[in-house]
Structure 1
Amino acid sequence: MVLRRGFKTEANWYAREMRRELRVLPTDPLCPWQLAGHLEFFIVRLSEFARRAPREVTYLQSGAGQKEFSAVTLDIDGQSWIIHNDTHDPKRQAANIAHELAHGLLVHKPNPLLTAMGTRYFDRTQEDEANWLGPALLISEEAALLIAREGMSIASASNHYGASEEVVRMRMNVCAAWRRLRLAAQPEALRTPQGQES
């Protein structure tokens, strides 16, 4: 994953700013459904289309279909709608919606669902950015550091923040939360490179 310079700092800013707008602390959990309402995104469950397209919905809710479809954002008459696969685990649903909201926050240009060849259109840059910001919205940098300071297990943090263990672990690693905690606990003399004034 190659991100443009400064993007990771920008993602951390969004995670803090969205919490500020929702009037919660930087270390608090962020509910994607609540954020969607704040940003005026309508969220629709895939299962709501079961009567209209029973065969298609049945497939997308199957084991194979769940791997193919998580969520998509559609612009309908200037209104953003997120359709998401509610067959997924609730924590996966949270990640799916956070991913779509990341696209919205970054004002990514909507792309066609399919290419001229009939294959799914994929914008690597936009997807990489959403793959980074989505988890940052769920587990802010401040939250990652708090998890480390409090000695929370990955499982406990997952339940507290409503994010999968994979997302928690990813954010702990990219924020270097455990490493920063260890460095902070060291005497200052050990933290200062030899020969460099503190």
Structure 2
Amino acid sequence: MTLPRGFKANAEREAVRLRKELGLTEGDPLSVRNLADHLGVKIVSAESLIDLERLEELERLQAYAFSAATFEIAGRHYVVTNPLRPDGRQASDIAHELSHLLLKHDLSEVRELSGTPFRTCQPEEEEQATAFGGTLMLPRPLLLSAARRGMGPTEIAAACGVSEEMARYRYNTTGVAKQARTRSG
């Protein structure tokens, strides 16, 4: 799948705009929980809704079957997270779910998993939420600022509270890696 023309540039602009609303500079890490508060979205750990043992059993049956989900109840949005995920992964999951809301995606597609129906987005909307979520946490200006200070993906991940995989992905796909090598060479 491919993102619509101009999507990445718009995502970068929107990430910068939201960060300014939160009073962050381009080099500041984003707390997705603060962004959720700013957007009026409540973050809830799944273990406050069901026993942790049930989550562990689901994980044993199908690894990564549940990372996070968004619900609207009485006009308020809730993002339910999986406490079994590392903090960096939870940040990505929250950013992904917030992206669905910011992009105004509609949970319109009904799918079935083990006989249980659930609502989801279209595959292209999932791709958009993944791309936008990564951009929210690690916009290009933040990555470029970090690279100019000699930071690589490992250091960026630690400083920004994201997974190393996410930091590496954004570092490489934004062109920052190449730009940082060119400047240092």
**Structure 1 position 84 matched with structure 2 position 81:** yes
- Measured in 1, the distance between the counterparts of 2:99 and 2:116 equals 26
Q: Does the 8 A contact of 1:27 with 1:140 survive in 2?
A: no
Q: CA deviation at 1:81?
A: 0.8
SS in 2 for 1:3: coil
In the alignment, structure 1 segments of 5+ residues that lack a partner are: 187-198
| Residue in 1 that maps onto 2:123 | 124
Tell me: CA distance 1:185–1:153, structure 2 relative to 1, closer, same or farther (3 Å). closer
| Residue in 2 that maps onto 1:196 | none
- Number of corresponding residues: 183
Equivalent residue letter for 2:140 = E
| Residue in 1 that maps onto 2:152 | 153
Equivalent residue letter for 2:166 = V
Q: Deviations over 1:127-151 (max 9, x none)?
A: 0101100111111111111122111
TM-score normalized with structure 1 length: 0.83
Deviates more, 1:99-108 or 1:63-72: 63-72
Equivalent residue letter for 1:45 = S
Equivalent residue letter for 1:86 = P
- Measured in 1, the distance between the counterparts of 2:172 and 2:154 equals 15
- Measured in 2, the distance between the counterparts of 1:167 and 1:64 equals 26
Q: Deviations over 1:102-122 (max 9, x none)?
A: 111101112355359866655
- Measured in 1, the distance between the counterparts of 2:63 and 2:43 equals 18
TM-score normalized with structure 2 length: 0.88
Q: Does the 8 A contact of 1:3 with 1:125 survive in 2?
A: yes
SS in 2 for 1:67: coil
SS in 1 for 2:111: coil
**Structure 1 position 29 matched with structure 2 position 26:** no
| Residue in 2 that maps onto 1:138 | 137
Q: Does the 8 A contact of 1:66 with 1:85 survive in 2?
A: no
- Measured in 2, the distance between the counterparts of 1:14 and 1:80 equals 20
Tell me: CA distance 1:68–1:164, structure 2 relative to 1, closer, same or farther (3 Å). same
- Measured in 2, the distance between the counterparts of 1:2 and 1:10 equals 15
In the alignment, structure 2 segments of 5+ residues that lack a partner are: none
| Residue in 1 that maps onto 2:38 | 38
How do 1:8-19 and structure 2 match up within 5 A?
Answer: 8-19=8-19
Which has the larger strand fraction? Answer: 2
Q: Deviations over 1:48-99 (max 9, x none)?
A: 0125xx7643423x34455100001011121111111011101110000000
Equivalent residue letter for 2:57 = Y
Q: Does the 8 A contact of 2:41 with 2:76 survive in 1?
A: yes
Larger radius of gyration: 1
Tell me: CA distance 1:160–1:9, structure 2 relative to 1, closer, same or farther (3 Å). same
- Measured in 1, the distance between the counterparts of 2:121 and 2:139 equals 27
SS in 2 for 1:114: strand
Q: Does the 8 A contact of 1:49 with 1:57 survive in 2?
A: no
Tell me: CA distance 1:128–1:158, structure 2 relative to 1, closer, same or farther (3 Å). same
